[in-house]
Amino acid sequence: MGGPMSGNTLSTAARLNLESLAAGIEGVLGMLDQLCDTSEGCFSALCLLRLLKAQLEGILAEELAA
């Protein structure tokens, strides 16, 4: 059974926007990695953002495989 985008395909513009979003998230993750050594709240945000990025990359990978 497919993922949340099963049966749908993204337009080229939508895929490029998602790729740009993933790149932006990567930048924020880099900053959080440097800042989260002492803050539990910051670490929680880092973990949630990593999960979001993984889900976004999964959608993009499914789209490329389609």
Q: What is the pLDDT of residues 18-35, one digit of tens each?
A: 899 999 999 999 888 888
User: In the chain, where are the structural domains located?
Assistant: 18-65
Angstrom distances, CA of residue 31 to CA of 6, 14, 24, 44: 33, 26, 11, 14
What percentage of residues in the chain have a pLDDT greater than 70?
88
What pTM was estimated for this model as a whole?
0.71
pLDDT of residue 8: 67
